[in-house]
Structure 1
Amino acid sequence: MSHSISRRAISRRTLLAASGGVSLATLLGLSACSNGSTGSSGGTAAKNLKLLLPGAVPDGWDAVLTAVNKKLQDDLGFTISPQFINWNNYGNQALLKFTAGENFDTALQARWLNMSQLAGSGSLVDVGPLIDKYPNLKKTLNPKLLELNKWSGKLWGIPQVNSAGRIHHFAIRQDLAEKYGISEISDYATLEKFWYDVKQRDAKIVPIALSQNQSNLTCVPGPVAMFNAHAWENPSRIGQSFSGNSMPFFLAADAKTSGSSSPIPFWDEPGVVDALRTIRKYYQDGIINRDALNADAATTKGLFTNGQTASAWATTDGLSTTTLLPGLLKAVPSAKMANVVPLKGGKATKPNQTFQSDNFTVLNAKGASNENAMKLEDWLSIKENHDLISYGIEGKDWKPVGDDKFQQLSTYAFPGFALCWRTSLERRSAAMTETEADWFTWAQDYENFTVDTFAGFIPDVTPVKREDAQISQAFTQYGNPLFFGAVDVDSGLDKLKKAVSSAGLDKVQAEMEKQANAYLAENR
C-alpha cells in the first residue's frame, strides 16, 4: 500500500486479491483496444469521472471534494466522484467492477492486486504513449521510473511513488521507550526488548497489533519482514510469485553468475521458519494481538492512535507522522513517536530493491473518457491542485511551511498513493519526526539500494494458472494462521506443505524455474 496501514498498499502481498493472470504475449497484443481513446460511454458521463480509491472516507472529505470539483469544473469542465472501498474488500471489489464492465474511470492497481490479469483481459489502458501529451504530469515522472515500470514495453498505469525504495518497518511510542530507559532502537534485539518491556510494565498496552492484510509480511523477506531477524541482518532477498496472493519462491542468490535460478519454496529460505517460531512465541506471550486473522487495518491503526498499542506498521514514504501522530497526541498528549528500521548496517546497508512501483493509477479501458482521466492526472500534477486534494483546505486542514513543508491542522488524510503521488510535489510534514525525516531522505536516493537480479522479472501464470489458483487458496487457508502465530509451527507448516503439494507445487516450481532461467539468459 506505501503511512498508516489503512491508507496504503502495504506490500505487493498485502491484500487477499483474487488469483489469476495472463501471458505476457497477450499483454503485448492489447494496445490496439486499450490505447487511451475516449471510452465507450461518452456523453454526460465524461463530465463526472468515477474513481475507485481504497480505505475509509477521509475526515472532512465533503468540503475538500466540493473545493476540488469547483476548481476542476472551472479549469477543465468536469468533476470527480470518488468511491472509497474498505481495504479488506478493495482487491476483490475492484476486480469485480472491472470484469463486470462497470463504468468508472480510474482505480488503484498493482501486481500484488489484479493488474496482470486486468492488463491481459484488455481492461487497462497503456498510458505510455499518452504521457508526452500532458506536460505537467510528464515533468513530475522520472524517466527511469517509467522505464523500470514497463511490462514488456507497455506502461499499464501511472506509477505512484514518493521515494526510490521502500522498506517496511515500525512506528513506535518513543515516550514509552524512554520510560524504559531505551533512548534509541537501531537493531531487532532492542526492538524485541522494547515490546517485552511494554508487556511487563504497561500491561494494558498491546506491544504491536497486526491486521489480516499483513499476512506473510510478518516473516517472508521482501527484502525485510517484520519479525524475521535474519532478514533485518541480510536484506538481500525478495521472493517471486505468480500472482498477488500466491506462494512466494526464492531464487538462487548466485543466479546472475550461474545462470540458474533454482527456486525454493519460501519455507526453505534462511530465517523464515525461525521467524515463524518467533511469531508463535509472540502470540503466546501476548506481544501481538490474538485477533489478527480477523482484524482490519483501520482498527489496528485506531488502536495505535488511541494509545492502546505501542507499535504500528510503517514504510519509508514519509507519512507515518501525518497519519499516526495527530490522533495519538489527541489521545495521549505527552506521547512521542519514532520510526524504527532495525537494519543491522543502518543506512549503509543497501537493501535489495526492484524499483517497481507498489501502486499504480490505472485507466479503465471502458471508462467514460480516458482523455479526461489523463487530464485529471495532469491537473493533479500542478502544485496548487495537488496540495488541495492531498492536504485538504488550506487554513482549515493545513497551512504551508515554506515551499516544501506543511503543518497539519486536522485529521484529514487522503490516499495520494492511489491517485496523485508526485515525488517533486510532495510536502513534508513540519512535524515529521527526526527519525522519519532521516529515513525518508535516505529512501529517496536510488544509490542507497541494490538492484535485485530479478528486478524486471514478471512471471507469466498462464501455464500454471489452475495450479496457482489452488495454491493461493491453500496458502490463505493454511499460511495465514502461521503468519500470525495462531497455530503450532511444525504441525501448521506440515499442513501447508501437504496442501500446496496436492495443489501442484512441483509443476508451479518447475515453471518458475523455467521462466526465471529464460529471464537470466535474456539479461546476461
Structure 2
Amino acid sequence: MKRLKSVTRFLMIIMSVFLVLAGCSSKESSSSNSSSSENKSYEITMAYLTTSSKVDDLPLVQEEINKITKKEINATVKLVPISGAAWQQQQNLMLTSNEKLDLIMSSSFYGYNTQAAKGQYLPLDDLLQSHGQEVLKVVPKNLLEGNKVNGKIYGIPSIRDWGSYYGFAMRKDLVDKYKIDLSQIKTFTDLEDVFKVIKENEPSLTPVVNTTAGTSVATALTAGKFDVLGDNLGVVSFKDKNIVNLFDDPQYVEAVKLARKWFKAGYIIKDSATSKESAANLVKANKGFGYLAKMKPGFDVQETGITGHEMVSVKLTDVYSFTDAATGFNLSIARNSQNPEKTMEFINLLYTDKDIMNLLDLGVEGKHYVKNTDGTIKLPEGVKESKYVFNQWEIGNNFLTYPWEGNPANYWDIMKKHNESAVFSPAFGFTFNPDPVKTEIAASTNVLNQYKLGLESGTLDPEKSLPEFNSKLKASGLEKIIAEKQKQFDKWNKK
C-alpha cells in the first residue's frame, strides 16, 4: 500500500510538470503568434482616377514607393488607376461590394456627400487624432471643416490650387501660325474671332472640344456668379447669398444661348454631350484646337505634358474658391478597409514625405524626369513622352513636389499667393445633407442627366429645351430641394 501511494504521488508530480510546461509552451506560442501578427506587413489598396493611359511604368513606381512605406510604416501600397470613363461605375462597385479597398479618391463631382452619408466611407475624426496628426498640421482647418458630412470628416483634401479661374487653352503652334493676339482676348465673346479663324483654316480641327459638364461653355460663363454646391440642384448666388434655381437665372439663360450659337457655327465638337473622351486627349489626337478649363498657375505647362502640344491660355475670370475646393478631390478610407489605422498612417506620409509624393506624382528620377540646376524638372534626354503620368492634383500634398520646367522655381510660392487671392464662396465650408430630400434629388438628377450637358454644350436648343428642363425639374421636386438647402444653409450661417 505504501508503495502504491508513492507511485501515485510520483505520477501526479510528473503530470503537474507536464501541465506547467504545456502552459508555458502555449503562452510562448500565443506570444509568438501575436508578435508575428504585429510584424506582418499590410498591403493598402488605393484606387484613383486617371485621365492618361500612360501607366506602363506603374509597377516600377509602386515598387519604389513601397521601399519607403515598408520601412516607415511596415506597409505596402497597391495602386489601382481607373480611367475617367469607367470611374463612376467602378467606384460604385468597389464601395458597395466586399472587394478589398482601403483608400479611394473621393470627390463632390462623383457623389462624395451621398457616399459619406450612406456610410461607404469611414469617419476620420478619431483616426486623424490617433494616427494622422501630421495631416492636421498641414491641411488648413477650414478645408477639413468643409469636408464634414453630418458633422464628421470623411475626406482629406489634396493640397493644391484652392482657387481657380476659367480660361481657354489652345495650341500655341496655331496661335503663332495665324498671328492670334492673345492680349486682345478679354471676354468669352472675344474668343469667337479666334474660333472663326481656326474653323476656316483648319477644317480637320474643332475649335472647342469640351466634353464634360464641369468645363462646359455655360459653366465657364457663369463662374464666379454661383457656387453649385456639388450637384447644381439649388446653388448659392454670390450676389445675394441665397439658394436659387441656377437653370432659370438670366445669367444661365444667356450662357446657354451663347453655347448654342457657337455650336450652330461649328465651333463646338458635335458629340460634346455624349463623348467620354477628355478634351486634352482630343487635342492630343489632333481633333481639336483648344478647350475651356478651370485654371491655375502653371496650367499651360501641365496641359503641354498631357496633350503633347505646346499650349497657351487666356485668363477670362477672377480667381474664385468654391465649396469644391474642399470637397473636389479628397482621400477617403473605404468602409471595408481591413486596417484603417495603417491606411491613415499612409495618408500621413502623403502629406509629409517629399520622396513619396515625388514618386507618386512624377515617377522615378532619372527615368521619368531629371532635375535642372534651378530645382525644376524635365523629361530625360531622348524621352519624348513619359510612360508614367499621374493626376497630381488629386492626392496628397502637392507643395512637396518639384515643378516642371517652364514653371518658375518658386512655383509653389506663386501658387500660395494665387490661393490667397481667391474670392471665397459665401458657402465655403458648407456641406449639404441630402437625406431629407434624397428621393427628390434622385428624380432631379435624372432630369439633369437628360438636359444639362446638352444645353450647356449647345447641342440642345434652349428656346425649346430650357422650359422643358425647368418644368421637369419642378415636377421632380427641385423647389423642395432648394427649400431644404436654404434651411440648412441658414442654420450653418448662424454658427
- TM-score, normalising length from structure 2? 0.80
Give 2:339's aligned residue. Answer: 369
Rounded Cα–Cα distance in structure 2 between residues aligned with 1:403 and 1:371: 39
For residue 465 of structure 1, report the CA deviation from its aligned partner: 1.2
Contact 1:219 1:276 in 2 (8 A): yes
1:142 & 1:275 partners in 2: Cα distance? Answer: 35
Between the aligned partners of 2:167 and 2:122, the Cα distance in structure 1 is 34
Q: Pairwise mapping of residues 511-522 of structure 1 onto structure 2 (< 5 A)?
A: 511-520=484-493, 522=494
Question: What corresponds to 2:389 in structure 1?
Answer: 413
Give the aligned partner of residue 342 of structure 1: 316
Conserved 8 A contact 2:44-2:76: yes
- Name the count of aligned residue pairs: 447
Change beyond 3 A, Cα 1:216–1:125: closer
Q: 1:363 to 1:70 in 2, by over 3 A?
A: same
SS of match in other structure, 1:361: strand
The whole-number CA distance in structure 2 between the counterparts of 1:493 and 1:45 is 59
* Structure having the larger proportion of residues in helix: 2
316-325 or 501-510, which moves further after superposition?
316-325
For structure 1, which segment, 178-187 or 472-481, has the greater mean C-alpha deviation from structure 2 after superposition? 178-187
Instruction: Tell me how far 1:466 sits from its aligned partner.
Output: 0.7
- Measured in 2, the distance between the counterparts of 1:514 and 1:327 equals 43
Change (3 A) 1:284 1:43: farther
Q: Which residue of 2 aligns with 1:301?
A: 280
2:340 and 2:322 mapped to 1: Cα distance?
32
Does structure 2 conserve the Cα–Cα contact (< 8 Å) formed by 1:163 and 1:440? Answer: no
Asked which structure has the greater CA Rg, the reply is 2
1:252 CA drift (Å): 7.1
Q: Is the 8 A contact 2:113 2:149 kept in 1?
A: no
Give secondary structure in 1 for the equivalent of 2:431.
Answer: coil
TM-superposed deviation, 1:446: 4.0
Specify the alignment match of 1:494 in structure 2.
Answer: 467
Q: Is the 8 A contact 1:238 1:352 kept in 2?
A: no
Q: Distance in 2 between matches of 1:369 and 1:470?
A: 37
What letter matches 1:427 in structure 2?
Y
Q: Deviations over 1:267-322 (max 9, x none)?
A: 23232112111111222211111111221234x32221244321134433456445
1:283 aligns with 2:263: yes
Shift of 1:386: 1.3
Matched, 1:95 2:92: yes
Q: Which amino acid aligns with 2:199?
A: K
Partner of 1:383: 354
Query: How far apart, CA to CA, are the structure 2 residues paired with 1:323 and 1:442?
Result: 14
Counterparts of 1:216 and 1:388, CA distance in 2: 29
Q: Residue 442 of structure 2 corresponds to which residue in structure 1?
A: 469
* 1:32-87: CA deviation from partner (whole Å, max 9, x where unpaired): xxxxxxxxxx9999622211111255332232223223443344333222222221
Alignment equivalent of 1:393, drawn from 361, 364, 373: 364
How far the C-alpha of 1:444 sits from its partner, in A, is 4.4
Paired-residue identity, %: 20
Asked whether the equivalents of residues 471 and 500 of structure 1 are also in contact (C-alpha less than 8 Å), the reply is yes
Distance between the aligned counterparts of 1:418 and 1:117, measured in 2?
A: 19
Q: In 1, are the aligned partners of 2:85 and 2:276 still within 8 Å (CA)?
A: yes
Matches within 5 A, 1:78-477: 78-131=75-128, 133-134=131-132, 136-151=134-149, 153-185=151-183, 186-188=185-187, 189-211=189-211, 214-215=212-213, 217-220=215-218, 225-226=219-220, 228=221, 231=222, 235-240=224-229, 244-245=230-231, 247-251=233-237, 253-255=239-241, 261=242, 263-298=243-278, 300-318=279-297, 320-321=299-300, 323-326=302-305, 328-329=307-308, 336-343=310-317, 349=318, 351=320, 353-354=322-323, 355-380=325-350, 381-402=352-373, 404-409=375-380, 410-411=385-386, 412-420=388-396, 422-432=397-407, 441=414, 444-477=417-450
Contact 1:209–1:288 under 8 Å retained in 2: yes
- What RMSD over aligned residues (CA atoms) do the two structures have, in Å? 3.1
Shift of 1:195: 1.6
CA distance in 1, matches of 2:461, 2:69: 55
Distance in 2 of aligned mates of 1:510 and 1:205 = 45
Equivalent residue letter for 2:368: D
Say whether the 8 Å CA contact 1:210–1:289 is kept in structure 2.
Answer: yes
Residue matched to 1:58: 54
1:371-402 deviation per Cα after TM superposition (whole angstroms, max 9, x unaligned): 22122222333111211121111111001235
Deviation at 1:363?
0.7
SS at match of 1:424: helix
Provide the rounded CA distance (Å) in 2 between the counterparts of 1:501 and 1:148.
Answer: 29
**How far does residue 136 in structure 1 lie from its aligned partner after superposition?**
5.0
Letter in 2 for 1:265: N
Counterpart residue identity of residue 332, structure 2: V
- Structure 2 equivalent of residue 484 of structure 1: 457
- Structure 1 residue runs of 5 or longer lacking an equivalent are 1-41, 256-260, 330-334, 344-348
Letter in 2 for 1:316: M
Q: CA deviation at 1:341?
A: 1.5
Letter in 2 for 1:284: K
Q: Is the 8 A contact 1:91 1:114 kept in 2?
A: no
Which amino acid in the other structure matches residue 177 of structure 2? K
